[in-house]
């Protein structure tokens, strides 16, 4: 995270980052976000979280929220009328926060997008379940689909927690040292360099000589070179993105 980005966030945060989550399992929140630095930030009012039970808008005595897929097939589909009503109740008119749907077919979650969300007022997150969500509500309510990886989860709740964790840690005052994320993976387009601490030697393995030199320029150069090496070996696609290739 750059100092410039930190200054921009400080200007924006006259109001706390607001997260609204629509889910069939509100008891899953805040979950891990209620502990450690994120939880402390939540208690201090640096960000807020509200959950909305989709089933409150279900159909009939049993509050049904899903139905068989049109055209046949396996599984069930979350109804557009139910989810549309839930979104309308949770998001007041004029609320400009992006509306996100956690979905394996969505665009991959990326750090640059996280920074954009954090610089705004917050996010509205819809957690899908079953086989999927009726396409009409995705179109009708302007939901942007977001994926956290090429795998399938039981529902969108775990993915929503991942997305929120990525956002909350960038909020000024949440991290113990606000600039501690500046050199982390993806912040500068590279994977993070290796970290070391005491003891000086462990099981025959010593510390890199550059880190013992006391020469800050040499240390910075070593860290940059290591970050480039690791990125080249493990995620060469990131280097291609930087070069425009």
Report how far apart the first and last C-alpha atoms of the chain are (Å, whole number): 25
Q: At what angle do helices 157-168 and 36-43 cross, to 10 degrees?
A: 80
151 carries a ligand binding annotation: yes
84 carries a ligand binding annotation: no
81 carries a ligand binding annotation: no
Catalogue the E-assigned strands of the chain: 17-23, 47-53, 66-67, 77-78, 99-108, 122-127, 132-133, 144-147, 201-202, 205-206
148 carries a ligand binding annotation: yes
152 carries a ligand binding annotation: yes
219 carries a ligand binding annotation: no
Q: How far apart are CA 83 and CA 64, in angstroms?
A: 11
211 carries a ligand binding annotation: no
Rounded to 10 degrees, what is the CA torsion of 240, 187, 118, 82?
50
* Cβ atoms of 54 and 24 closer than 8 Å: yes
Please give the annotated binding residues, written as ranges. Answer: 128, 148-153
Please give the annotated binding residues for S-adenosyl-L-methionine, written as ranges. Answer: 128, 148-153
């Amino acid at each position: 995270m750059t100092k410039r980005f930190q200054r921009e966030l400080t200007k924006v945060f006259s109001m706390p980052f607001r997260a609204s989550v629509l889910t069939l399992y509100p008891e899953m929140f805040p979950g891990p976000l209620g502990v450690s630095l994120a939880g402390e930030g939540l208690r201090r009012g640096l960000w807020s979280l509200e959950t909305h039970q989709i089933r409150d808008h279900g159909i009939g005595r049993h509050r049904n929220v899903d139905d068989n897929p049109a055209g046949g097939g396996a599984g069930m589909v979350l109804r557009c009328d139910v989810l549309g009503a839930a979104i309308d109740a949770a998001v007041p008119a004029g609320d400009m926060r992006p509306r996100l749907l956690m979905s394996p077919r969505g665009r991959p979650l990326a750090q640059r997008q996280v920074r954009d969300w954090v610089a705004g007022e917050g996010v509205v997150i819809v957690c899908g379940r079953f086989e999927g969500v009726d396409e009409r509500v995705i179109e009708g309510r302007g939901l942007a689909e977001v994926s956290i990886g090429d795998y399938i989860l039981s529902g969108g709740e775990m993915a929503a927690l991942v997305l929120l964790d990525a956002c909350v840690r960038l909020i000024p005052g949440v991290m113990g040292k606000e600039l501690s994320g500046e050199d982390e993976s993806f912040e500068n387009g590279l994977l993070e360099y290796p970290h070391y601490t005491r003891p000086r030697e462990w099981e025959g393995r010593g510390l890199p000589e550059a880190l013992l030199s006391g020469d800050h320029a040499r240390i910075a150069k070593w860290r940059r070179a290591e970050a480039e090496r690791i990125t080249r070996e493990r995620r060469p696609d990131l280097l291609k993105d930087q070069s425009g290739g």
